[in-house]
Chain A
Amino acid sequence: MKRTILAIALSAILTSCGQAPTTALDEGVIDRLSPRQQLIRLSIDLRGIHPSEDDLKAIDADPDSYAQFVDQYLYDPLFLGQMEDLYNIVVRTRTGDAWYDPEMAGLTQPYFEVAESVGSEPLKLIAHVIDQDLPFSEILLADYTIANEVVADMWGLEYPDGLEGWQKLTYDDGRPMAGVLSTTSLWTRYPSAGLNANRHRANNLSRMFLCDDYLTRPVTFTEAQIAELSDGGDANEVIATTPACQSCHSTLDPIAAHFFGFWWEADPEDMAAMTSYNPGDEGLYAGQTSGQPGWYGQPTGTLRDLATALANDERFYDCTVQTVVEGLTQRTTTDFDWNLMQAHKDAFVGSNLNFRELVRSVVSSDSYLATQFEDPASHERIPVVKTVSPRQMSAIIKDKTNFVLAYDGLDALKYNDMGLVVLDGGIDGQFITNRTYEPTVSSMFVQERLAQAAGFRVATNDLNPLREGDAILLKSVDVNSNPTDDLPAFQAQIRSLHQDLTGVPLAADAPQVAELVALWKQIFSVTSSATTSWAGVIAAVLRDPAILFY
């Protein structure tokens, strides 16, 4: 009761501060982000960059226009790239590895470009399904893949003349078409080591699309089982006759049995032999695993049958919801989230598995926009502060300053070639598969260097008297301006700089204005350079928590 009174009181205080919710809140949520912050969060999640100032002014004028921006951003050209990144955390195919020598396929592009294309094939198919508003089960049922010229050359697909970029293509080597499950890129990422008889692939299918990782289950061997195995016993026989083994293998092995057409030949001289599907090998499961092809007790036959069973499995819907919720909210869901998850699932299933409707449901929920929960324990499960990914950080800085930290033309926070993605808390898809949402020493250094270089880039451009075109950020000062002669102009510049970079205006009495003027003076006192001083001020604002967190 006391907590409820406190909540009401706190809500009243926030209302008086202009942060009042304009509509009723879900149970347990005391307050939401301010309208500007709501739009910033939405834009970073759906577009990877901040909203434009025009958009921010529009939501200032009409705080209830959030839903309209959801509509707009769901169809923004940048939306699909964000969803590819979201699903890459699950599919993990963008590893920087092309798996085979591109020269064997006659490709001369830089290796990293080939690796990026190969790693993108399943993600582009997922993005296509989202883009076309198809039922999300199409990612498993599509009778085509999405490939560009590089992927086509690598895997021997026919790429039509006159087209360019990512297109609908088909494999013509006799493989059953089953959406991403038919893509060579996926199964080169998850090979079978032979002895594991495609169980590695089966488990990854389960992990990716059922959110059920067999490898998280503890294994216990009895002395009798070990004795039999160490006496040269047949492992498949032990698996088939031991209840503890069957708790996993009774379902895992029948899934694995679908992938023997992808049991590639190890011929280093023949790219096609190593990457083509072999229909004649489909029956090799006999003797290799303890199961016929099947799906949790239901007999199947081909890879297509497997995909159909998976696409109709309620757990696939649940897993899709879980993937989206966890990806957009940067947290692990628990049983406490059951009601919330059910509501999102209803939106997803009720829209014929429309992915955009699922995203809309998540980003429209109060818990997504919450800053305060009635129950303090909710703060232990739900972070009201989110952290931008390395790709988002790079895109935001580029959008604000035109600067990209690049090496040989590659954005160092988008591609992990230089290792900066991982150092900044991102994943490499292979060895580092979970994002780090807490800032680290290494991410501090990445952001410091990025901000420093961007600051110099802007200051050098904007203070150049011979500059062509508009200033990027420093529009109220020039290279001869100083705070002693014209403090108001300096303060106005700092205010606009802060708002342009963070999206949030400083309050009239905000101490940051005086502090940034003081910082400019400090730097100028040791460098005597207006350019260096402004570069330092811009770097300081670019490293503000308001940019890293959203």
Chain B
Amino acid sequence: MSYTNHISRRSLFRSLAGCAALGSLGSLAAVGQQARAAASERKFLFFFADGGWDPTPLDPKFAADGIGAIGGTDMDPGTFLGQAGNLTYTAGDDRLNMDLFFQNWGQRTALIRGVNVHSVAHDTATQWMMTGSTSMTAPDWPTILASSGESYPMPHLVFSGPNFPGRLGAAVVRGGGGSLLELIDGSMLSYADTNSPMHALSVDSMIDAHVHRQGARFQQELMGLAKVRADAFIESLARASELEGRQFEAGLGATQSGTLDEALMALEVMRLGLTRCAMIRIPGSWDTHGGNGGVGGQLDEFFGVLDQVMDHMNRTPGFSQSWLADEVTIVCCSELGRTPRFNGSGGRDHWTYASMMMMGSGIRGDSVIGATTDDFIARDCDFETGLPSASGGMIGTENVGAALLELGGAEANRYLPGVAPLTAILEGS
């Protein structure tokens, strides 16, 4: 079913509110702006490793033989240098899925090394990684992207992991715990202490239309923050109504809680044009002060999921592109790096330089962007090439974020004025 042909309850509201003109302008506006429209239609799936993942698996420090350690960085026992095309990584028998993934998808994957997260505290570094600042009012990258471009019923769907809505909270839908799905289909009322009947969908639509009219009246003549709240009421109501009508189409009731399940559900709602961005927490104990031994297994599991996700994206038609792989960008990150040397417990403590990974739509594949020294200190880089350069600068989370916003057609300069985007990650750079 084509989204543009879908007569949604939401578009019904728009006409009720006297905004019918909006609908007729959409297709005309797109003509002649195809390249820009492609950016605004791009979707983003974020994976976040809560706790600060070890950056060395994506930024290995081995001697020339590919096995021995070099001076300033300890590598996990039993690991060795892995390579696929231009990409190098830390391979090992406990993480064979990394080999599989990079062999299958290395040509579509970029590794970003030496990203300065500006902090060694979890909460603050998370904020830096996701927003490029420490302002409590700054929205994170997926929230900004979800608020930009096309409009979606569930602009940013947070299955799990961090979320900083800033003043764009209306774009965020928290889906964790399964309660959202039970709210959408109303089944949550069936097992409340006071059992309640349900209205038929047709009755719900009648009620929604009245509430929408009241919201439109309320919205009039408000300014500033008050208008932001009233606008969010109208927009969220429209989004909820559309979602309610399309819940079965999206198969939302079948959602499971595993990482792969969540990722496939995120891709499904993206395919249906219901969502632009999604956030999923990568399971595992990444805060490895007490020992680094479990990292390989956790990476193996995650890369196994990623391999299946990429495979799915390559076989599944997209919403605006032929295949999801041409439409969805995947971003994998964590809030911190970890120390290059093991501590007394064989673990790694917090470090300010992190590694990230991106793949899929719009990403310059088979590329390594940024670099660190043997002691795992970030090197200055040229933001256009991603190569080390004495005349360049240190890559910060804000530079990565600005590039992501550019990739999604959002106004990077509005949210990060004066910040240079790391354009090296962009396809064609």
Contacts from A to B (Cβ < 8 Å) = 193, 195, 215-221, 223, 226-227, 229-232, 331-332, 376, 378-385, 387, 403-409, 412, 418-420, 422-423, 425, 432, 434, 436-446, 448-449, 452-453, 456-457, 512, 515-516, 519, 522-523, 526-527, 532, 535-536, 539-540, 543-546, 548-549
- Asked if residues B200 and A527 are in contact (CB atoms below 8 Å), the reply is yes
B167 beta carbon closer than 8 Å to chain A: yes
Among the stretches B36-44, B80-88, B221-229, the one at the interface with A is: B221-229
- Asked if residues B189 and A452 are in contact (CB atoms below 8 Å), the reply is yes
Expressed in whole angstroms, the Cα–Cα distance for A500 and B199 within the complex equals 23
11 A-B pairs in the complex with CB atoms less than 8 angstroms apart: A215-B119, A379-B227, A385-B225, A405-B192, A422-B174, A438-B167, A438-B236, A445-B240, A449-B189, A532-B203, A546-B218
B215 beta carbon closer than 8 Å to chain A: yes
Expressed in whole angstroms, the Cα–Cα distance for A49 and B136 within the complex equals 29
* Contact-size category for B: 35 or more
Per-residue CB contact flags for chain B residues 182-199 toward chain A (1 = under 8 Å, else 0) read 011010110111101111
Please, which residues of chain B bring their CB within 8 A of the CB of A445? 180, 183-184, 240, 244
Please, which residues of chain B bring their CB within 8 A of the CB of A425? 169
- Given A215-B123, A445-B240, check contact A440 B200 (CB 8 Å): no
Please, which residues of chain A bring their CB within 8 A of the CB of B289? 193, 195
- Asked if residues B224 and A376 are in contact (CB atoms below 8 Å), the reply is yes
- Asked if residues B210 and A523 are in contact (CB atoms below 8 Å), the reply is no
20 further A-B contacts with Cβ under 8 Å, apart from A437-B169, A441-B240, A539-B207, are: A215-B121, A215-B123, A221-B352, A231-B341, A380-B224, A404-B194, A406-B193, A412-B192, A423-B174, A438-B167, A438-B168, A440-B169, A441-B173, A441-B236, A446-B183, A448-B208, A453-B192, A523-B203, A523-B207, A549-B230
- Asked if residues B124 and A526 are in contact (CB atoms below 8 Å), the reply is no
Closest to A226 in B: B377
Please, which residues of chain B bring their CB within 8 A of the CB of A441? 153-154, 170, 173, 236, 239-240, 243
- Given A383-B225, A406-B194, A441-B239, check contact A419 B232 (CB 8 Å): no
The 9 closest A-B pairs by CB, nearest first: A379-B224, A438-B232, A383-B225, A453-B196, A385-B226, A419-B177, A436-B169, A444-B240, A419-B179
Select B339's contact among A230, A383, A418, A440, beta carbons within 8 Å.
Answer: A230
Q: Smallest distance from the beta carbon of A201 to chain B beta carbons, Å?
A: 13
- Given A383-B226, A516-B210, check contact A215 B124 (CB 8 Å): yes
- Asked if residues A440 and B172 are in contact (CB atoms below 8 Å), the reply is yes
Please, which residues of chain B bring their CB within 8 A of the CB of A403? 194
Residue from A378, A380, A385 having most chain B Cβ neighbours under 10 A: A385
- Asked if residues B179 and A230 are in contact (CB atoms below 8 Å), the reply is no
B137 beta carbon closer than 8 Å to chain A: yes
B14 beta carbon closer than 8 Å to chain A: no
Expressed in whole angstroms, the Cα–Cα distance for A457 and B193 within the complex equals 12
Please, which residues of chain A bring their CB within 8 A of the CB of B222? 384-385
- Asked if residues B119 and A219 are in contact (CB atoms below 8 Å), the reply is yes
Select A380's contact among B118, B128, B180, B225, beta carbons within 8 Å.
Answer: B225
Please, which residues of chain A bring their CB within 8 A of the CB of B128? 218
- Asked if residues B206 and A379 are in contact (CB atoms below 8 Å), the reply is no
Please, which residues of chain A bring their CB within 8 A of the CB of B123? 215
Expressed in whole angstroms, the Cα–Cα distance for A545 and B189 within the complex equals 23
Please, which residues of chain B bring their CB within 8 A of the CB of A230? 72, 339-341, 375-376
- Asked if residues B211 and A540 are in contact (CB atoms below 8 Å), the reply is yes
- Given A438-B170, A536-B206, check contact A331 B225 (CB 8 Å): yes
- Asked if residues B154 and A536 are in contact (CB atoms below 8 Å), the reply is no
Please, which residues of chain B bring their CB within 8 A of the CB of A549? 218, 229-230, 233
A-B contact count (CB 8 A): 218
- Asked if residues B225 and A419 are in contact (CB atoms below 8 Å), the reply is no
Q: Smallest distance from the beta carbon of A384 to chain B beta carbons, Å?
A: 5
Please, which residues of chain A bring their CB within 8 A of the CB of B210? 515-516, 519, 540
Q: Smallest distance from the beta carbon of B217 to chain A beta carbons, Å?
A: 8
Closest to A383 in B: B225
- Asked if residues A526 and B203 are in contact (CB atoms below 8 Å), the reply is yes
Please, which residues of chain A bring their CB within 8 A of the CB of B213? 515
Closest to A332 in B: B137
- Asked if residues B134 and A216 are in contact (CB atoms below 8 Å), the reply is yes
Please, which residues of chain B bring their CB within 8 A of the CB of A383? 224-226, 228-229
Q: Smallest distance from the beta carbon of B240 to chain A beta carbons, Å?
A: 4
Residue from A425, A439, A535, A536 having most chain B Cβ neighbours under 10 A: A439
Expressed in whole angstroms, the Cα–Cα distance for A195 and B289 within the complex equals 9
B202 beta carbon closer than 8 Å to chain A: yes
- Asked if residues A407 and B193 are in contact (CB atoms below 8 Å), the reply is yes
Please, which residues of chain B bring their CB within 8 A of the CB of A223? 377
Closest to A422 in B: B174
Expressed in whole angstroms, the Cα–Cα distance for A278 and B183 within the complex equals 48
- Asked if residues B170 and A453 are in contact (CB atoms below 8 Å), the reply is no
- Asked if residues B119 and A218 are in contact (CB atoms below 8 Å), the reply is yes
Closest to B135 in A: A216
Expressed in whole angstroms, the Cα–Cα distance for A453 and B176 within the complex equals 23
Select B180's contact among A331, A442, A522, A536, beta carbons within 8 Å.
Answer: A442
- Given A420-B179, A456-B196, check contact A384 B211 (CB 8 Å): no
Closest to A520 in B: B206
- Asked if residues A543 and B207 are in contact (CB atoms below 8 Å), the reply is yes
- Asked if residues A452 and B177 are in contact (CB atoms below 8 Å), the reply is no
Q: Smallest distance from the beta carbon of A390 to chain B beta carbons, Å?
A: 13
Please, which residues of chain A bring their CB within 8 A of the CB of B211? 540, 543-544
Please, which residues of chain B bring their CB within 8 A of the CB of A226? 375, 377
- Asked if residues B183 and A423 are in contact (CB atoms below 8 Å), the reply is yes
Q: Smallest distance from the beta carbon of A389 to chain B beta carbons, Å?
A: 14
Expressed in whole angstroms, the Cα–Cα distance for A253 and B11 within the complex equals 58
Q: Smallest distance from the beta carbon of B25 to chain A beta carbons, Å?
A: 25
Select A449's contact among B183, B208, B226, beta carbons within 8 Å.
Answer: B183
Expressed in whole angstroms, the Cα–Cα distance for A406 and B349 within the complex equals 44
Please, which residues of chain A bring their CB within 8 A of the CB of B163? 432
Please, which residues of chain B bring their CB within 8 A of the CB of A378? 224
Q: Smallest distance from the beta carbon of A376 to chain B beta carbons, Å?
A: 6
B237 beta carbon closer than 8 Å to chain A: yes
Expressed in whole angstroms, the Cα–Cα distance for A153 and B4 within the complex equals 61
- Asked if residues A219 and B352 are in contact (CB atoms below 8 Å), the reply is yes
Please, which residues of chain A bring their CB within 8 A of the CB of B134? 215-218
- Asked if residues A379 and B229 are in contact (CB atoms below 8 Å), the reply is no
- Asked if residues A419 and B214 are in contact (CB atoms below 8 Å), the reply is no
Please, which residues of chain A bring their CB within 8 A of the CB of B197? 456, 532
Expressed in whole angstroms, the Cα–Cα distance for A544 and B215 within the complex equals 7
Please, which residues of chain B bring their CB within 8 A of the CB of A216? 124, 134
Please, which residues of chain A bring their CB within 8 A of the CB of B118? 218-220
B60 beta carbon closer than 8 Å to chain A: no
- Asked if residues B229 and A439 are in contact (CB atoms below 8 Å), the reply is yes
- Asked if residues B174 and A444 are in contact (CB atoms below 8 Å), the reply is no
Expressed in whole angstroms, the Cα–Cα distance for A15 and B186 within the complex equals 46
Residue from B175, B199, B213 having most chain A Cβ neighbours under 10 A: B199
- Asked if residues A437 and B229 are in contact (CB atoms below 8 Å), the reply is yes
Q: Smallest distance from the beta carbon of A479 to chain B beta carbons, Å?
A: 16
B120 beta carbon closer than 8 Å to chain A: yes
Q: Smallest distance from the beta carbon of B270 to chain A beta carbons, Å?
A: 16
B165 beta carbon closer than 8 Å to chain A: yes
Please, which residues of chain A bring their CB within 8 A of the CB of B376? 230
Select A545's contact among B174, B188, B224, B233, beta carbons within 8 Å.
Answer: B233
- Asked if residues A512 and B214 are in contact (CB atoms below 8 Å), the reply is yes
- Given A223-B377, A385-B230, check contact A438 B169 (CB 8 Å): yes
Please, which residues of chain A bring their CB within 8 A of the CB of B165? 436, 438
- Asked if residues A536 and B203 are in contact (CB atoms below 8 Å), the reply is yes
Q: Smallest distance from the beta carbon of B164 to chain A beta carbons, Å?
A: 9
Expressed in whole angstroms, the Cα–Cα distance for A229 and B343 within the complex equals 10
Please, which residues of chain A bring their CB within 8 A of the CB of B179? 418-420, 423
- Asked if residues A232 and B341 are in contact (CB atoms below 8 Å), the reply is yes
Q: Smallest distance from the beta carbon of A198 to chain B beta carbons, Å?
A: 14
Closest to B214 in A: A544
- Asked if residues A439 and B194 are in contact (CB atoms below 8 Å), the reply is no
- Asked if residues B237 and A444 are in contact (CB atoms below 8 Å), the reply is yes
